[in-house]
Amino acid sequence: MPILKFENVSKTYPGNFIALEEINLVIESGEFLSIVGHSGSGKSTLLKLIYAEEQASEGHVYFNDRAIDSINRKHLPYYRRNIGTVFQDFKLLPQKTAFENVAYALEVSDETEEEINELVPEILEIVGMNDKAKKYPRQLSGGEQQKICLARALVRKPMVIIADEPTGNLDPVATWEIIQLLLKINSMGTTIILATHNKDIVDKLNRRVIALDKGKVIRDHQKGRYAI
Amino acid sequence: MKFTKLKRTFKEGMDNFRRNGWLSFATVSVLAISLYVISVTIILGVTANIVLKNIQDKINVSMYFNSDVEESRILEIKSKLVGYQEIASIEYVSKEQALEQFKKLGDKNPSITQALDEIGENPLLGALVVKAKNPNQYEIITKAISNASFSGDISRIDYEENKTAIDRLTNIIKLVEQVGMTLGIVFVFIGVLITFNAIRLTMYAHKQEFEIMRLVGASNTYIKMPFVFEGIFYGAVSAFVVMICLYATSKFLSPITQGSIGGGDIVSFYFGNFFIIFGGLLLSGIFLGTLSGIIAIRRYLKV
């Protein structure tokens, strides 16, 4: 069953800059999809359309058969809770500890303190960061920060996790730890969409790969390798 | 559920307030100065009015009758005057009563007694002491009296002597009120601007965090509420600061104001009206803070 569907989607930014053109794409639930392409090829825009940071100029993006652009602005926060996001620059709240950063994702959706105190350590355990729960982001290495981000993305049990260059700032060891975690999360049933520049990762994953160039899908292989 | 949200955003707002130490300090200072000027103005206005009332109560017009006017004639004139609607009360002070009062002064000043002894007879005149309902009406009353049929019996009217003093006092109080109000309005405006700016700066500092908050699915209200609370904290803390400053000020002023207010000095006035003053301050502080927060959110928080 498709969890995400792009139908003739184009995105034009002011100044007539075309970021995406005529994208048609079906992403099945439980898939591990890699998106590759040069900088400026439209990878990030494609992801932004999914987590509703941007809206398509033409066409529609469907999440579980519902057009995302038809969601009332007021309800977008609730929609976003279905999607976990991980970024190259981590985007952790600097004044909160690792625990609090993960807990924040639950606090905003009105979870009770008991649930938070039960769920957060559980998730931190999964990403192997339980012993660093009380550390602030600045006290953690890049790899550790990214694991906290993954924990935060994961804690609300989203249907989709979007990872936009999650390993861009990490050394090879940390990179593989993150990829292993993504695979683990995927094996538990969560759809993963990974945008990356890293050839090694894509080649080793041996999963579906989409290549973007100048806003168009130029390749879509079920067991793909990194090629643009 | 609503309560958890309130509690959490309240805590976030408090954290913002605490973390931005200097910014909070500056904001609270300016807001406190604004509130201080406003409340000093109001308190000054209120006390000035009380003082004026006290003085006005002491104002009267005395008509002194020629020494050959009989007491019965004076009482007859008195009964005529009672009909004037501008007049609040009339009191007859006979020659003898006037002498009594004058002799009492002599207890403190022996030369008075001496002088009286030398004259040998009562040199004082019988008088009618008139109090007006409204201090503005003294002029009308004195005019009416000096034009009345019995004006020939009157030796003198002592209104003119008091008049300039009364007028001057009224003018000063009016001026104090006007200057205070203007300053107050200006400071309220500045206070709102500064608080608004402080919150805007916090927002700027948190700019990247809004994105994060949105990404993890925080609703707009959840992102906005901490800033409203931040504004409320600015206001409430300022109110406390002003309360202390006002106490210090009134303590400082109390020797000067001793006895000028009905209940004693300005410190007792401050404590007598503690809850009214504090409540008013707290409410206006919170109002200003919230207002500034809401303006800043509307203007700068695009979520």
Q: Which residues of A touch B211 (CB under 8 A)?
A: 91
CB atoms B217 and A156 under 8 Å: yes
Integer Cα distance of B86 and A165 in angstroms? 90
Q: Does residue A4 surpass a pLDDT of 90?
A: yes
CB atoms A110 and B1 under 8 Å: yes
Say if residue B119 is exposed, middle or buried (CB neighbours under 10 Å; 0-12, 13-18, 19+): exposed
Q: Is the ipTM of this complex over 0.85?
A: no
Q: Are A152 and A100 in contact (CB under 8 A)?
A: no
CB neighbour list of residue B246: distance below 8 Å, 6 or more residues apart: B36, B39, B40, B43, B270, B277
Nearest residue, CB atoms, A110 vs list B5, B15, B213:
B5
Nearest-Cα distance to chain B for A183, in Å, is 21
Tokens of B143: 């005019």
**Among A140-144, B110-114, B231-235, whose mean pLDDT is lowest?**
B110-114
Q: Compare all CA atoms of chain A with the CA of B212 and give the residue at the minimum distance.
A: A91
Q: Does A39 touch chain B (CB under 8 A)?
A: no
- Kindly indicate the confidence band of residue A7, based on its pLDDT and cuts at 50, 70 and 90: very high
Q: What is the DSSP string of B3-43?
A: HHHHHHHHHHHHHHHHHSHHHHHHHHHHHHHHHHHHHHHHH
In sequence order, the β-bridge partners of residue A9 are: A23
Could you read off the pLDDT of B289-298 as tens digits, one per residue? 888 778 777 7
Q: Which residue has the higher pLDDT, B61 or A141?
A: A141
Q: Does residue B260 surpass a pLDDT of 60?
A: no
Q: Does residue B220 surpass a pLDDT of 90?
A: no
Q: Does B225 touch chain A (CB under 8 A)?
A: no
CB neighbour list of residue B232: distance below 8 Å, 6 or more residues apart: B13, B286, B289, B290, B293
Tokens of A137: 């982001």
pLDDT at residue B99 in the model: 80
Tokens of A105: 């994702």
CB atoms B219 and A108 under 8 Å: yes
Percent of chain B at pLDDT > 90 equals 0
- Kindly indicate the confidence band of residue B71, based on its pLDDT and cuts at 50, 70 and 90: confident
pLDDT at residue B162 in the model: 65
**Closest C-alpha among A155, A150, A96 to residue A123:** A155
pTM over 0.80: no
In sequence order, the β-bridge partners of residue A210 are: A35, A220
Nearest residue, CB atoms, A77 vs list B1, B4, B218:
B218
CB neighbour list of residue A148: distance below 8 Å, 6 or more residues apart: A90, A92, A98, A101, A102, A127, A129, A132, A137, A140
Long-range contacts of A179-183 (CB under 8 A, 24+ apart): A179/A205, A181/A126, A181/A127, A181/A147, A181/A150, A182/A32, A182/A150, A183/A32
Handedness of CA B26, B32, B35, B41 (dihedral sign): negative
Average pLDDT, chain B: 78
Nearest residue, CB atoms, B215 vs list A85, A107, A110:
A85
Mutate to test the interface with B, among A108, A160, A162 (most CBs of B within 10 A): A108
pLDDT at residue B291 in the model: 82
Alpha helices in chain A (DSSP H): 43-50, 76-80, 98-107, 113-126, 142-154, 172-187, 199-205
Question: Where does B61-161 sit in CATH, by number?
Answer: 3.30.70.3040
Q: Which residues of A touch B220 (CB under 8 A)?
A: 74, 77
Please state, as a whole number, how many other Cβ atoms lie within 10 Å of the Cβ of residue A74: 10
Q: Does A48 touch chain B (CB under 8 A)?
A: no
**Closest C-alpha among B44, B30, B40 to residue B198:** B30
pLDDT at residue B202 in the model: 72
Domain parsing of chain B, residue ranges: 2-55+167-300, 61-161
Q: Does residue B57 surpass a pLDDT of 60?
A: yes
